[in-house]
Amino acid sequence: MSRRVAIIGTGHSKFGNRGDVNIAELAYESIRQALDEAGIEPREIDFAYVSNVGGWSSEPLPAVVALEYAGLTGIGTMRVEAACSSGSAAIKAAYDTIKSGEADIVLVLGVEKMNESPTPTVVEFIGRAGNYFWEFQNFGLTFPGYYALYATAYMARYGATEEDLCKVAVKNHYYASFNPKAQFPRKITLEQCMQSRYIAWPLKLFDCSPITDGSAAVILASEEVAKKVTDSPVWIAAIGTASGTSNLSRRSDFTHLEAARIAARMAYKKAGIDPENPVKQIDVAEVHDCFTIAEIMAYEDLGFAKPGEGYKLVREEQTYIGGVIPVNLSGGLKAKGHPLGATGVSMAVELAHQLLGKVERERQAPIKHGVALAHNIGGTGHYAYVTIYTLEKPREA
């Protein structure tokens, strides 16, 4: 048994330092919105996947705590962790659960309260997500350090500059300024980015995503249910996923993420998208810009640009609205925020709203094909998920 799967409800909290709520209250902000949008009651949910990386929160096991607060006690639930791509992994698990016939309606919740721990603790915990005994313990690598390695390798090989990296930040802050849910809803200038302090050369403060509290939720349903509850479903057309080595010394190249390339081609094949020219079929994309270099590498890994030419897209403003492919119109992880477990779910919410024309006018992409892409990376390429969302029902169940 194989069934089509649609998003029928979405919810999204304000991202930022959310000391005003506990983790259950933060989760409920998104769950309530998703239930209301879907027009269903908690008792109609069959199963819930909760995406949470954790370690920094006062609630080390938040799934049942958050669901109990939302009136969802009694249903089956599971916590999902795939580092920064946990949200997309949870969506994949929910998609498979419905597609297989095990459930008709599944909630996916992503939630983090990262600011409940001091910044050095959070930095250490994220740094441990590489290869702890080899890279973190022996060399003290943190995530800015990991991505600085990518940035220096890319710049040395292809001639990109620090200004090119900063132009990613400028673009993403520009669109975040129109997003009321963003952590940093304000514009910055190229000069501000270039003058910000170095975190790990060549990455500066404005090249790095922030520590974020936030939640996002989507309700997925079978085609049969979707027909009954909404006349505007957003379909999951395909999901591609792959993994890379935990140890960077085992990677063959530092200028791209092989796992992302594999995941993209898998998703494109399933969705019937030409991997050699995907920008001709995709209206808008949310990519994993944990650091500005990560967005540039994503352009190439996804086939939006040829190897070594990704930086030219942002240099020429081709990833703004009106360019070749609008990218991160939410503000991205860089300016919208990056609550690790909520990020992939937040991308799904954003892209569903983009496809349905429900975002603020200044950041609404032109929707010509009814196709959107989410690119979500865990760790330094440990996990990769590429998800294709469409307005048109997928061609195959």
Instruction: Kindly list the catalytic residues.
Output: 84, 338
Per DSSP, the three-state class of 362 is helix
Contact 389, 218 (CB under 8 A): no
For the chain, how far is it from start to end, CA to CA, in angstroms? 9
* Residue in the structure block whose two tokens are 């195959």: 396
Question: Taking CA 18 as the corner, what is the angle to CA 13 and CA 22, rounded to the nearest 5 degrees?
Answer: 90
Give the length of the chain: 397
Q: Which backbone phi and psi does 73 adopt, to 5 degrees?
A: -65, 140
Question: Taking CA 86 as the corner, what is the angle to CA 97 and CA 212, rounded to the nearest 5 degrees?
Answer: 140
- The span from the CA of 112 to the CA of 50, in Å, is 10
**What distance lies between CA 171 and its chain's CA centroid?**
17
How would you classify residue 236: left for phi > 0, otherwise alpha for psi between -120 and 50, otherwise beta?
beta
- The span from the CA of 184 to the CA of 176, in Å, is 7
Sign of CA dihedral 30, 32, 34, 37: negative
The residue type found at 57 is S
